[in-house]
Structure 1
Amino acid sequence: MKKFLLFLLSVSLISGCTSPTPEILNAPINTANQQISEIDTEQFKGLKRLVAIGRFSDETKRGNSFLVDNNNNRLGKQATDILSSRLTASGKFIMLERPDVQLLSSEAKNFETSKIGADYLIVGSISEFGRRAESDVAIFSRNKIQIANATVNVRLIDVKTSRIVYSEEASGEARTEANQVFGVGKTAAYDTSLDDKAVSAAISKVVSNIMNNLLDSPWQAYLIDSGEVESLFMTGGESQGIKLGHNFAVIEAGKKVKNPQTGILISLPGKEVATLEVIGFVGEGDNELSLVTTKSGKLDKTKISQYVVQEMKGNNHE
C-alpha cells in the first residue's frame, strides 16, 4: 500500500512539473538590448523618405497558405503588412499604400499625375516555406514540437533609375512545444499561427538593414513653378521633417549618357546653381508643399523640370 501511495505521489509531482513550452521565434530576446530599442523609438528628427511597398509574391508550392488576389497571384500578404507596419512605426519614412501597384512603371507614372510618387519601392517574395513536426518519446514522457520556417527575399529599388539599391535574403523560424508525462499535459493540435510568425521572424531580420539603406540614400525634392514671379514651391512639407528656415541646394541635373557596358542610362554629376530657404507651407498630406525663396544663385524657370533639390548639411533638425 505504501509503495502504491509513493508511486501516485511521484506521478503527481512529475505531472505538476509538466507545462507546455512557449512558442519560440528565432533566438530569445536579450534584455541587454532593451535600452537600444528605447533609443530607436525616439522621434526621428531628419527628413523622411517617400517609400512604397509592392507585392510580396509567394514563390513557394504552399500557395494555399497565403492570400490570393483577383489575378490569382499567390501573395505573401502578411509579409507586406508586417514590413509596412515596422517601417511606419519607426517614424523615419512616409509610407505610401500601393495595393495594386504595377511595380516600377506605375510608380514612375505617379510623378506625372496628381498622385504622390515614391522615391523608393520595396518588392520581395517568400522563396521558401515549410512545416515539420518532431517528437521525443521516452518511457514516461512525450514531447511534440511543431516548427515553421520561412525565407524572404527583399529588394529596394530607386524608382527613377530602376536601379536595385539593396537586396537581402533572410530566414525566420517559429516553433511551439507540448509536453506530456504519463499521459498528462498539453496536447498539440495543428497551429496555423506559426506560418505568420515564421514570416514575421524573417521580416524582422531585414527591417533594420532596409531602414539603414533608405536613410543612406540622398533625400531629394523637386521645384514647382506657380506661374507667379515671386512664388516658387518645393515638393514636401512639415510631415517630411522640413522646417521654416531650412536651406536646400538646387542641383541642375547632369547629362544622361548610356553606359556601353550595361546599356543603362546614367546621369553625370550635376552642378549646384542656387540655394533656397523655406519661408512657409501650403496644402496638407500628399499635397503638402513648401514655399521657398532664392537665398543665393539664380534659377532659370525654363529649366524647372531639370532641377533637383537636395538637403544641405547645415540644417538643424532639432
Structure 2
Amino acid sequence: MRRIGIAAGAAALLLQACATVSEKPAPAESPVPKAAQLSAQEARQAPAAKRYKMKLAIARFSNETNYGRSLLNDADLDRIGKQASDMLASRLIMSGNFVVLERPDLQKLEREQQLSGGKLVGADTVITGSVTEFGRSVGGKSGFLSSTKVQLAHAKVDVRLVDVKTGHAYFSAIGAGEASTESGEIAGFGSHSEYDATLNDRAIAAAISDVIDRLAATLADRPWRTDILEVQGAQLFITGGKHQGLREGDTLAVMEAGSTVKSKQSGFEVTLPPKQVATLRVVSLFGDSETNEGAACQVVSGRVEPAALAKLFVTEPKS
C-alpha cells in the first residue's frame, strides 16, 4: 500500500512538471538604433586624438649588418635601410596623426641644420634609425619518403627620436620581427620551395610593427608647438595651417622660453620653465601644402615684442 502511494505521488509531480510550460520572452526592440549604440561604444573605447599634428622628418635608415652590402655598393643604394625607413614613413602617414616630411639621408639633414643655424626648418622631431640585425636561415627535416624545408628571415631595427631644437635624443626603441615559409614533399609529390625574396620584406615589416606603437605613443605625448613668422602690430603670422589641424577661431598661447642656467650640483645646463606672454586667436589660414602653410592670428591678450621673437613660440593653451 505504501508503494502505491509513493508511485501515485511521483506521477502527480510528473504531470505537474509536464503541465508547466515556460514561455519564451518576447524580444523587445531598443529605442536607440544599433548603429548609434556601436558608434557610442567605439567613441568610449577609442583614445582621444590630438588636434594638432607634429611635423616629423624621417632620415634614411642605415644598414649596420653585413647582409646585402659589398665594396661595390654605394651608401645611397642601401636597399635594406631604405626599406625600413619607407615602411616606417608609410605607417606614420597612414595613421593620420602626423605630418611626415621625408629627408633622403642624415648627412643632408645635418647640412640643412647648419644652413638654418642649427634648426631644421619645418620639423619638430627627426626620426633616425638603423637595421642592426638581419639574416636568413634554411632548415627542415628529411626522411625515407618525405622531407620538409623551412626558410626563415629575421630582422631587428633600432629607432631614435631627436628633438630638432636641442639635438637631444629623447627616445630610443628596438623592434624585432621574423617571417618564415615551409614546403614539403612525400614520395616525390608536394611543393618545391625556391629562394623566397619576400621573406626579407616581411621580416623588416614585422620589426617596424613591433616598434611603431611605442614610437607613436611617445610622439603623441610631446606638446605641439610652432614658431612665429612675423609680427605686424596686433597681428602675427605663425607656421602651420590646416594640415596640422589648425582652424579659424582656435585659441593659442604665446610662450617665452625660460633661461638656460648651469646646475652647480650636476654641471649640466637646465632650462627653466617657459611663461605665457600672450593669447592668440586664429583669424585665417593660408598656404596649400605642409611646407608653405601658415595662419594669421590676432593678439587678444598680452603683448608680443618683435625683439623677443628668438625666445617665443606658440603652443596649445593649458586646459
Equivalence map 1:1-318=2 (5 Å):
46-64=51-69, 68-69=73-74, 76-102=81-107, 105-109=110-114, 116-226=121-231, 228-258=232-262, 265-285=269-289, 286-314=291-319
Tell me which residue corresponds to 1:3. none
Q: What amino acid does structure 1 have at the position aligned with 2:247?
A: K
CA distance in 2, matches of 1:125, 1:244: 41
Contact kept, 8 Å, 1:154 with 1:168, in 2: the verdict is yes
Q: What amino acid does structure 2 have at the position aligned with 1:142?
A: S
CA distance in 2, matches of 1:89, 1:37: 20
Question: How many residues were matched structurally?
Answer: 277
Structure 1: segments with no counterpart, 5+ residues = 1-35
* TM-score after normalising by structure 2: 0.78
CA distance in 2, matches of 1:205, 1:39: 26
CA distance in 2, matches of 1:265, 1:183: 72
Q: CA deviation at 1:64?
A: 3.1
Contact kept, 8 Å, 2:235 with 2:299, in 1: the verdict is no
The CA RMSD measured in Å over matched residues stands at 3.1
Contact kept, 8 Å, 1:236 with 1:242, in 2: the verdict is yes
Once the two structures are superposed, what CA deviation does each residue of 1:212-262 show, in whole Å capped at 9, x if it has no partner? 111101111111225x33431011011100111111111111112345677
Larger radius of gyration between Structure 1 and Structure 2:
2
Once the two structures are superposed, what CA deviation does each residue of 1:127-177 show, in whole Å capped at 9, x if it has no partner? 111111111223332110000011111111111111111111121101001
CA distance in 2, matches of 1:61, 1:40: 45
Once the two structures are superposed, what CA deviation does each residue of 1:267-298 show, in whole Å capped at 9, x if it has no partner? 21111111111111122211111110111111
CA, structure 1 residues 49+257, in 2 after alignment: closer, same or farther (shift >3 Å)? same
Between the two structures, name the one with larger relative contact order (CA 8 Å, sep ≥ 6).
Answer: 1
Aligned-residue identity in percent: 40
CA, structure 1 residues 310+173, in 2 after alignment: closer, same or farther (shift >3 Å)? same
CA, structure 1 residues 218+45, in 2 after alignment: closer, same or farther (shift >3 Å)? closer
Q: What amino acid does structure 2 have at the position aligned with 1:198?
A: A
CA distance in 2, matches of 1:242, 1:90: 18
Q: What amino acid does structure 2 have at the position aligned with 1:305?
A: A
Contact kept, 8 Å, 2:113 with 2:119, in 1: the verdict is no
- Secondary structure of 1:102's counterpart equals helix
CA distance in 2, matches of 1:185, 1:308: 66
CA distance in 2, matches of 1:41, 1:68: 46
Tell me which residue corresponds to 1:11. none
Structure 2: segments with no counterpart, 5+ residues = 1-40
Contact kept, 8 Å, 1:277 with 1:294, in 2: the verdict is yes
Q: What amino acid does structure 2 have at the position aligned with 1:137?
A: S
CA distance in 1, matches of 2:234, 2:210: 49
Once the two structures are superposed, what CA deviation does each residue of 1:40-78 show, in whole Å capped at 9, x if it has no partner? 99995521100011121111111339x954667785110
Q: CA deviation at 1:266?
A: 3.8
CA, structure 1 residues 127+114, in 2 after alignment: closer, same or farther (shift >3 Å)? closer
- Secondary structure of 2:249's counterpart equals coil
CA, structure 1 residues 238+39, in 2 after alignment: closer, same or farther (shift >3 Å)? farther
Q: What amino acid does structure 1 have at the position aligned with 2:155?
A: A
Q: CA deviation at 1:110?
A: 6.7
Contact kept, 8 Å, 2:120 with 2:164, in 1: the verdict is no
- Secondary structure of 2:296's counterpart equals strand
- Secondary structure of 1:152's counterpart equals strand
Once the two structures are superposed, what CA deviation does each residue of 1:166-196 show, in whole Å capped at 9, x if it has no partner? 1111211010011111111110111122112
* TM-score after normalising by structure 1: 0.78
CA distance in 1, matches of 2:266, 2:136: 42
Contact kept, 8 Å, 1:104 with 1:159, in 2: the verdict is no
